[in-house]
Amino acid sequence: MNADRALPNVRVLTAAPLPVGPRLARGWRITAYEAAGAVARLGRGSRAVDALLAAPRVRQGAFVGAWNPLSRMMPRRWNDRMLDRLRVLARRAGLRFLDGRGRATRPAWAEEHLLIFGDLRPVIVLARRFRQHAVLRVRLRAPSRLLVLR
């Protein structure tokens, strides 16, 4: 599948990305990413997310998870342990974050995430460590963009 046509708000950060099938592409398009009541959607700006970014005086952040590595379903308890580990590593790295969630209704789907504020380089390192396929970058007064890592 050509990710450029299927996902126009995507930036691929790897020379040889894993194939993105239509189900995964659709999942990214229909997911609402939420933290502290603010909702971000792929390719759209959000005043509520802008307010979250403005509070700690940062211009960007990213929704990143530790659940379901490489988009493969894992048991809830395993996913929760990995998210707890992500929180520990984010704190250890001095990163500011809020708990968040990604969810869609058709099909019903939800995953826990963190919205990590600031420089994306350490966020991308963490996302790759937890074998995440992508992160959703949010920027002040700009549409969100999916950064494909694998």
Phi, psi values for residue 24, rounded to 5°: -65, -45
User: For 97-143, what is each residue's pLDDT tens digit?
Assistant: 999 999 988 778 899 999 999 999 999 999 999 999 899 999 999 99
What was the pLDDT predicted at 3? Answer: 46
Per the structure, how many domains does the chain have?
1
User: For 42-56, what is each residue's pLDDT tens digit?
Assistant: 999 999 999 999 999
Q: Which of the two residues, 78 and 7, has the higher pLDDT score?
A: 78
Instruction: Taking residues 65-90, report their average pLDDT.
Output: 95
Phi, psi values for residue 78, rounded to 5°: -65, -45
Q: Which residues have CB under 8 Å from 51's CB, separation 6+?
A: 38
pTM of the model: 0.87
Residue in this structure with the two tokens 């988009």, named with its chain if needed: 71
What was the pLDDT predicted at 5? Answer: 53
Domain that holds residue 121: 3-148
pLDDT at 33 over 80: yes
pLDDT at 93 over 50: yes
